[in-house]
């Protein structure tokens, strides 16, 4: 059996026909500049071929359900193991997705509670047990042996009424006596009961002594009692002691009936288990008055946000209604109105008043009713089929916790099933590490232990992995869409790798994204433990610590795009350090990505945020300097994303943009915001997901290019508009391929084949459009240009060259303008987005908020990014960045370190200040790893400046 993975002739994307050997059962890191071909080798070649071979091994019937994998452009790969890939993926925005469901731990918890859980009455708290007839007989012989007992069937328990029809029916069934409120009556006599008084009625089925002689008679009587009362039998001895037993989970006093304890009862995604009020979401969405009305602005001049456009017909109705009541709305805000008038604005009035509307230029009078803002919004939401209208209405919707289930998502019966006093809701609301500790000491015995322990072992295995990988502070009930990128990445790792298989090739795409250096250390230990089980772990990575702890490194380069795709160096870390590749100096510590500004910057002012308490923030006060580069750091889950997105961005956006409808995080007052002109957020939402999206369309540079071509003499003579030069619009594009440039040929159960369009020869446009040329180049030729070529070509057109120069400065001069967005690497996509935002130049005093911009960047690319950001700050702007990259942190003017831990033990400011002040703090994990890193690279004078 081969101990190596041998790749021969890999040519996928920009790979230059490379050959290489990778040792099995090793931790292998593939590194290199962004866009050099790392993902093309790891995922598009090695991983794709591994998955394709597995699917090919299945029958043609099975393959039609799994889809067909394209064969990568490689001659051969030998020694390939079964492959599992863990790629970069966006966080799930499904509100039903939780940590428990994503990691599949919740499935095991549902099974555990269905099999060993004990139901309790949700009203009185009584433990509910069900008995078979044999168990009831056993109970009788154990507790009433030799005693004379009455077998009764409780048909009425604590209900008002005369029950005359009931007595007649019981007599027809052959019963002779009943016990009403403790007294025995013959059914032959007339039984008169008070109609408005509660009564207890039991049918006297039999009266006999409990012994072996009467066993069959006892069994028959018990069955008869259960049948008459639909589930209950009451046993009473001569001393007045009585007990009610049931063959179902039913509370005899509250008459609460439980369904069968099955796993679906505990699923909030099933109608059997979901809370009926919120349908398993745990919350309700509703139209919020706070979001829909600016209470300080005049109502007729934009105060009612959904009706802000001039002369909205609902405003005319509102005005007519108020005039009919002798009230005026002119110049009045919502806060200026009496409470009863505010209620009319929000919920409407049933009164019809004379109104007017225009039809074909004529004014028509009619009697109309003002429906109110909230009813109007609800009607629009219910009736609209337009996606744009629905997205607009979403701005006015808020969310609150469901009062019926208190956010637990489950129906009452599911919440009332317990194991040693804990419900499934208690389990999922605990931090994972606390739940693991509880399960390790949970006392189970007898059948409970026999059934439950195998399930608990599986749960503990998965929870242990989550704790080991550093997310033990999360709860299983936490919604997936509230997780940070680092948390979501590690949850995917816990799901995929938690099974701890052997003989597998794991391919991971930058698993250290979003991880603090402390968390990275934990992650590498986990990866090594997986390797030690007999697996090969192949990681696309730039992290220095991960590279140094790897068994084997493959560096691809030497440059990005067409300048990459070659093996620059490979071997153990020690061997790489002896070479002259980019990574050699980085690993040795002789080079780094640290770039300080060319001059020492001092704050031009301060932003102050008080009592920030959103999510896990602990009512913290945060001061952020203006006119400098600030880095927010801290371990994963410490509150960085909450501070940047919910407190800083949304808080400032509401101050600076009165039309902004978002809801800011909980906080006190914001001071210093008047010094800013604008606030811009560059978050981690993905760019285009289709081949039609490319750097030219995403950055907006394609619009002025098309406008330029539409202004050319040939285009004006022909009457061409800018739309003629779009490959997405009918008219100028090639209709044979619909502007795709290639045609898909279906091959049934074989992979689809894409061939160049024979009509346009891959240019995307028809012949007439291509005849319009600028400097001898058609619009299709422009899309084939690299950024650098296009910058030179359009150097005399400022609207175009300004946008392209930002892409060039971000180190993306090699990228083609028309390259499909789906083929961009993570680093490339991030920088396209950054360049698109940074090209929207504001005249200073703009606050830029960036969320981990170094994602997917080699240290050489980090340098280019830092130069761009420093230039932005030197232009009079402020930049605040969430980062874990030590080069970036050390290059910042001011650092805010959150923590000290994640989750409930985070949310505090550990230390804030310039680099030297951070390094002196002994409580900060960031300071610990910064000191270690700066010592390794020989940077002992922390105030030194690098050009």
Per run of 10 residues, the mean pLDDT along the chain (length 947 residues) is 87 92 96 88 93 83 69 93 76 80 93 93 83 85 89 88 89 90 88 88 91 89 88 86 82 73 92 91 89 87 84 85 87 90 91 69 74 92 81 84 92 93 95 93 87 93 86 89 73 73 89 84 86 93 92 92 89 93 91 83 94 92 96 91 94 85 86 92 69 84 94 94 90 89 67 76 91 94 90 92 87 83 67 78 82 84 88 91 94 95 89 94 94 86 46
C-alpha span between 798 and 777 (Å, rounded): 19
Instruction: Please name the residues in contact with 497: beta carbons below 8 A apart, sequence gap of 6 or more.
Output: 86, 465, 506, 526, 530
Question: What's the pLDDT score for residue 485?
Answer: 61
Give the single-character DSSP code of 127.
B
C-alpha span between 330 and 530 (Å, rounded): 71
Smallest Cα–Cα separation from 866: which of 810, 798, 912? 810
CATH class of residue range 605-687+826-936: alpha beta
The DSSP bridge partners found for residue 31 are: 555
CATH class of residue range 695-821: mainly alpha
C-alpha dist (Å) from residue 461 to 262, 347, 436, 439: 23, 54, 9, 11
Token pair in block for residue 869: 């950001």
C-alpha span between 596 and 129 (Å, rounded): 71
Question: b/e map of 321-342 (b: 16 or more CB within 10 Å)?
Answer: bbeeeeeebeebbbeebeeebb
CATH class of residue range 4-90+483-588: alpha beta
Asked if residue 869 lies in contact with residue 891, where contact means CB atoms within 8 angstroms, the answer is no
Question: b/e map of 588-599 (b: 16 or more CB within 10 Å)?
Answer: ebebbbbbbbee
Question: What's the pLDDT score for residue 476?
Answer: 95
Residue 159 backbone class (left: φ over 0; alpha: ψ -120 to 50; beta: rest) = beta
Asked if residue 534 lies in contact with residue 25, where contact means CB atoms within 8 angstroms, the answer is yes
Question: What's the pLDDT score for residue 39?
Answer: 87
C-alpha span between 469 and 115 (Å, rounded): 30
Q: How many helices (H) and strands (E) does the chain have?
A: 36, 33
C-alpha span between 343 and 545 (Å, rounded): 61
Residue 593 backbone class (left: φ over 0; alpha: ψ -120 to 50; beta: rest) = alpha
Cα 391 off chain centre by = 19
C-alpha span between 634 and 900 (Å, rounded): 7
Q: What is the pTM of this model?
A: 0.76
Same CATH fold, 605-687+826-936 and 4-90+483-588?
Answer: yes
Rounded to the nearest 10 degrees, how much is the dihedral formed by the CA atoms of 221, 227, 233, 237? Answer: -30
C-alpha dist (Å) from residue 879 to 93, 355, 601, 909: 28, 53, 13, 19
Asked if residue 535 lies in contact with residue 542, where contact means CB atoms within 8 angstroms, the answer is no
CATH class of residue range 283-401: mainly alpha
Smallest Cα–Cα separation from 868: which of 843, 842, 831? 831
C-alpha span between 556 and 323 (Å, rounded): 75
C-alpha dist (Å) from residue 735 to 51, 550, 721, 764: 35, 51, 18, 9
Smallest Cα–Cα separation from 12: which of 385, 401, 535, 564? 564
The H-or-E segment that residue 610 falls in is strand 605-612
Q: Quick count: other Cβ atoms within 10 Å of Cβ 265? A: 23
Give the three-class secondary structure for 183.
strand
- CB-based burial label for 141 (10 Å; 0-12, 13-18, 19+): middle
Q: Quick count: other Cβ atoms within 10 Å of Cβ 502? A: 11
Per-domain residue ranges of the chain: 4-90+483-588, 131-247, 283-401, 605-687+826-936, 695-821
The H-or-E segment that residue 113 falls in is helix 105-116
Question: What's the pLDDT score for residue 945?
Answer: 41
Q: What is the architecture of the domain spanning 131-247?
A: 2-Layer Sandwich (3.30)
Q: Please give the span between the terminal C-alpha atoms of the chain, in angstroms, as a whole number.
A: 53
| DSSP3 helix / strand / coil % (the chain, rounded to 5) | 40, 20, 40
Question: What's the pLDDT score for residue 432?
Answer: 93
Work out whether strand 878-882 and strand 629-634 pair parallel, antiparallel, or are unpaired.
parallel
C-alpha span between 786 and 807 (Å, rounded): 11
Phi, psi angles (nearest 5°) of residue 127: -70, 135
Work out whether strand 74-78 and strand 148-160 pair parallel, antiparallel, or are unpaired.
unpaired
C-alpha span between 665 and 649 (Å, rounded): 10
Give the single-character DSSP code of 946.
-
Q: Is the peptide bond before 900 cis (omega within 30 degrees of 0)?
A: yes
Give the single-character DSSP code of 645.
I
C-alpha span between 52 and 67 (Å, rounded): 10
C-alpha dist (Å) from residue 653 to 568, 680, 837, 879, 882: 47, 9, 16, 15, 18
Instruction: Please name the residues in contact with 838: beta carbons below 8 A apart, sequence gap of 6 or more.
Output: 806, 810, 848, 868, 872
């Amino acid at each position: 059996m081969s101990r190596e993975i041998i790749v021969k002739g890999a040519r996928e994307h920009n790979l230059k026909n490379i050959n290489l050997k990778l040792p099995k059962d090793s931790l292998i890191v593939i590194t290199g500049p962004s866009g050099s071909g790392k993902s093309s080798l790891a995922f598009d070649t090695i991983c794709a071929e591994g998955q394709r071979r597995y699917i090919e091994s299945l029958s043609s019937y099975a393959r039609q359900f799994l889809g067909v994998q394209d064969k990568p452009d490689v001659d051969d790969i030998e020694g390939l193991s079964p492959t599992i890939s863990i790629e970069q993926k966006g966080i799930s925005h499904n509100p039903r997705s939780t940590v428990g469901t994503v990691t599949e731990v919740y499935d095991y918890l549902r099974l555990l509670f269905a099999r060993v859980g004990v139901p309790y009455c949700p009203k009185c708290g009584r433990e509910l047990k069900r008995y078979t007839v044999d168990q009831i007989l056993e109970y009788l012989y154990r507790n009433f042996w030799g005693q004379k007992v009455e077998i009764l069937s409780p048909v009425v328990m604590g209900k008002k009424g005369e029950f005359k029809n009931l007595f007649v029916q019981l007599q027809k069934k052959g019963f002779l006596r009943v016990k009403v409120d403790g007294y025995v009556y013959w059914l032959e006599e007339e039984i008169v009961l008070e109609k408005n008084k509660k009564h207890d009625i039991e049918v006297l089925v039999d009266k006999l002594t409990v012994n072996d002689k009467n066993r069959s008679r006892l069994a028959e009587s018990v069955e008869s009692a259960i049948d008459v009362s639909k589930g209950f039998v009451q046993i009473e001895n001569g001393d007045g002691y009585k007990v009610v037993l049931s063959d179902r989970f039913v509370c005899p006093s509250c008459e609460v009936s439980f369904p069968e304890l099955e796993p679906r009862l505990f699923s909030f995604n099933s109608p059997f288990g979901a809370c009926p009020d919120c349908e398993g979401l745990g919350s309700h969405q509703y139209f919020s008055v706070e979001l829909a009305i600016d209470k300080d602005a005049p109502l007729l001049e934009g105060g009612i946000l959904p009706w802000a456009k001039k002369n909205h017909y609902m405003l005319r109705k509102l005005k007519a209604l108020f005039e009919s009541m002798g009230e005026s709305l002119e110049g009045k805000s919502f806060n200026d109105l009496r409470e009863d008038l505010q209620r009319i604005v929000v919920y409407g009035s049933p009164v019809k008043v004379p109104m007017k509307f225009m039809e074909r230029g004529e004014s028509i009078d009619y009697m109309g009713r003002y429906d109110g803002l909230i009813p109007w919004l609800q009607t629009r939401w219910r009736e609209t089929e337009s996606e744009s209208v629905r997205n607009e209405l979403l701005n006015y919707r808020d969310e609150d916790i469901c009062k019926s289930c208190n956010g637990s998502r489950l129906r009452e019966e599911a919440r009332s099933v317990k194991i040693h006093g804990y419900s499934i809701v208690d389990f999922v609301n605990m931090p994972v590490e606390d739940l693991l500790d509880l399960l390790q000491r949970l006392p189970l015995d007898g059948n409970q232990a026999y059934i439950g322990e195998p399930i608990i072992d599986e749960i503990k295995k998965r929870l242990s992995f989550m704790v080991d990988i550093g997310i033990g502070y999360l709860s299983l009930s936490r919604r997936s869409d509230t997780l940070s990128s680092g948390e979501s990445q590690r949850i995917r790792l816990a799901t995929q790798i938690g099974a701890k298989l052997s003989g597998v090739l794991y391919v991971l795409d930058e698993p250290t994204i979003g991880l603090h250096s402390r968390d990275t250390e934990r992650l590498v230990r986990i990866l090594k433990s997986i390797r030690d089980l007999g697996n090969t772990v192949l990681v696309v990575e730039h992290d220095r610590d991960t590279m140094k702890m790897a068994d084997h490194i493959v560096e691809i380069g030497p440059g990005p795009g067409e300048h990459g795709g070659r093996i620059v160096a490979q071997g153990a870390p020690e061997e790489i350090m002896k070479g002259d590749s980019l990574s050699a100096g980085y690993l040795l510590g002789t080079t780094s990505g640290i770039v300080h500004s060319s001059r020492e910057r001092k704050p031009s002012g301060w932003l102050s945020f008080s009592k920030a308490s959103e999510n896990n923030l602990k009512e913290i006060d945060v001061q952020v300097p203006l006119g400098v580069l600030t880095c927010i750091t801290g371990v994963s889950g410490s509150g960085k994303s909450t501070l940047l997105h919910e407190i800083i961005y949304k808080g400032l956006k509401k101050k600076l943009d009165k039309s902004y409808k978002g809801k800011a995080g909980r906080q006190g007052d914001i001071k210093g915001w008047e010094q800013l002109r604008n606030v811009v957020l560059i978050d981690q939402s993905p760019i285009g997901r289709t081949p039609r999206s490319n750097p030219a369309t995403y950055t907006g540079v394609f619009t002025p290019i098309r406008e330029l071509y539409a202004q050319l003499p040939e285009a004006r003579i022909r009457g061409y508009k800018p739309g003629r030069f779009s490959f997405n619009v009918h008219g100028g594009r090639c209709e044979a391929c619909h502007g795709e440039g290639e045609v898909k040929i279906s091959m049934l159960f074989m992979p689809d084949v894409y061939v160049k369009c024979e009509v346009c020869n891959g240019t995307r446009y028809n012949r007439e459009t291509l005849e319009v040329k600028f400097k001898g180049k058609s619009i299709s030729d422009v899309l084939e240009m690299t950024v650098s070529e296009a910058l030179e070509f359009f150097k005399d057109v400022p609207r175009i060259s300004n946008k392209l120069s930002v892409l060039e400065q971000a180190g993306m001069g090699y990228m083609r303008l028309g390259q499909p967005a789906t083929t961009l690497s993570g680093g490339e996509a991030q920088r396209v987005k950054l360049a698109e935002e940074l090209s929207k130049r504001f005249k200073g005093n703009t606050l830029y908020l960036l969320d981990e911009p170094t994602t997917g960047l080699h240290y050489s690319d980090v340098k280019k990014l830092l130069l761009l950001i420093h230039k932005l700050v030197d232009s009079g702007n402020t930049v605040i960045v969430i980062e874990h990259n030590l080069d970036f942190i050390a290059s910042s003017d001011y650092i805010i370190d959150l923590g000290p831990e994640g989750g409930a033990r985070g949310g505090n400011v550990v230390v804030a200040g310039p680099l030297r002040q951070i390094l002196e703090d002994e409580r900060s994990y960031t300071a610990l790893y910064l000191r270690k890193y700066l010592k390794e690279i020989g940077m002992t004078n922390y105030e030194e400046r690098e050009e």
